[in-house]
Amino acid sequence: MSRYRLQPSPGQERALLEHCAHARFVWNLAVEQHAHWKAGRVSAPGFAEHCRQLTEARAAFEWLRAGSIIVQQQALKDFAQAMANFFGKTHRRPTWRRRGRDEGFRIVAVKTSEVRRLSRRVGELRVPKIGWVRFRWSRAVPEGVKSYRVTRDALGRWHVAFAVIPDPIPAPGTGAVVGVDRGVTVAAALSTGELLTVPALREAEQTRLRRLRRKLAKAKRGSNRRGRVKQAIARLRARESDRRKDWVEKTSTDLARRFDVIAVEDLKIAAMTRSAKGSMQELGRNVRQKAGLNRGILANGWGALVKRLEQKAPSRVRKVNPRYTSQTCNGCGHRAAESRESQSRFRCVACGWRDNADVNAAKNVRDTAAGHAVAARGGLPLGEPANREPQRDLLLVE
């Protein structure tokens, strides 16, 4: 990850803290509004409404008005994205940000001229309302920086992380279509039969993480020992997240190079079907139980993978309704929940076709994208959710 140590002057540090406080304030306000919202009431405010409220709040509070509207608006955009991720089942619900622990803000639409190198080891970037802030040029800054996030860790150190939107990768031009299914027993299954797993922490690292967690529970609050244990845990977590990001980059590049069209399930529709009561809920529970090492990708890697695919293969990604893709036989089109013998095995009750369950689903995703409506082909509506609740939530964030 391209993270660099920021070196603000004391004056700049105060201004950066203000930016953080504003971003946190705006974020928490949005969290609170969504917490009070209950099913049946008028919808909780979306991004546009939040922006209108921000304008009002800025008019009312001198403190907020003095800050950067860019920082404040971006915090709202990040919140809207966080809610979309939550409804898409790729992330947890956004939570309250605490002072001193979740300090940070994001700046987007960064121009090339706003990041520059001063000397071999020193660079600087332009922060709204603050001006040029120096950072340690510890490695090459990637070309085409589009946005950055400034953060302050619990030890008071400042960092900047640059985000780059990757260039599109040319299609192979073979007409090849691939279906990618968010697997239950693996991170992702391809319609080619490939099963992809995300590199997670190794056995020894996991053992170490468990031991550190026990230590942390025993350590006295505020002690040096506790601080050290916390840091060690954070390092392991960072290693895990680096591996996951690396996997997302490699996998998305590989798919964009090999296939003309990449079919994936539509996360919004997936959220709707998966949160519905009935047989799909059963599957959802099993996902949580059995995901094991792949929990990471289910938690936040899948959304990242799809996003990268859309950047590397623009207009070549097809999002399809995932409904019934796991219950429909790719051989004969018969749909029955019983055909899914277990998490990993699919055996059609009608024709006896056998396949890995995730691969069978990936093939259905591929065929749906290619224009064959999987859900419409034969079979009894066994997978019909028994009691579908209105999915109001999905209307909130666009």
- Which of 270/375 has CB closer to Zn ion? 375
Q: Identify whether the C-beta of residue 253 lies closer than 8 Å to the C-beta of residue 169.
A: yes
**Shortest CB 323 distance to Zn ion, Å:** 18
**Directed axis angle between helix 302-312 and helix 224-258, to 10°?**
40
| Window contacting Zn ion (CB under 5 A); options: 100-108, 151-159, 186-194, 345-353 | 345-353
Which single residue is written with the structure tokens 């792949």?
A: 294
Amino acid at 295: R
Q: Does 304 bind Zn ion (CB under 5 A)?
A: no
- Which of 181/393 has CB closer to Zn ion? 181
List the catalytic residues. 181, 265, 358
**Helical (H) or strand (E) element with 397:** none
Number of chain residues interacting with Zn ion (CB under 5 A):
8
Closest of 337, 347, 331 to residue 380, by C-alpha:
337
- CA distances 305 to 308, 364, 392, Å, are 5, 20, 26
| Window contacting Zn ion (CB under 5 A); options: 64-72, 132-140, 207-215, 324-332 | 324-332
Q: Does 340 bind Zn ion (CB under 5 A)?
A: no
**Shortest CB 280 distance to Zn ion, Å:** 20
Q: Does 332 bind Zn ion (CB under 5 A)?
A: yes
| Window contacting Zn ion (CB under 5 A); options: 51-59, 181-189, 307-315, 323-331 | 323-331
The CA distance from 355 to 334, in Å, is 14
- Sheet of strand 261-265: strand arrangement: 195-196, 188-190, 177-182, 261-265, 317-320
Q: Does 357 bind Zn ion (CB under 5 A)?
A: no
Q: Does 37 bind Zn ion (CB under 5 A)?
A: no
| Window contacting Zn ion (CB under 5 A); options: 10-18, 232-240, 280-288, 348-356 | 348-356
The CA distance from 135 to 124, in Å, is 6
Residue choice 348, 357, 369, 375 for contact with Zn ion (CB under 5 A): 348
Residue choice 23, 127, 329, 369 for contact with Zn ion (CB under 5 A): 329
Site string for Zn ion, 6-35 (x = CB under 5 A): ------------------------------
Closest of 369, 287, 283, 258 to residue 321, by C-alpha:
369
**Shortest CB 376 distance to Zn ion, Å:** 15
**Distance of alpha carbon 386 from the chain centroid:** 30
**Shortest CB 56 distance to Zn ion, Å:** 59
The CA distance from 295 to 268, in Å, is 19
Q: Does 351 bind Zn ion (CB under 5 A)?
A: yes
**Shortest CB 328 distance to Zn ion, Å:** 9
Q: Does 353 bind Zn ion (CB under 5 A)?
A: yes
Residue 220 DSSP SS3: coil
**Beta-bridge partners for 159:** 5, 151
Site for Zn ion, rule CB under 5 A: 329, 331-332, 334, 348, 350-351, 353
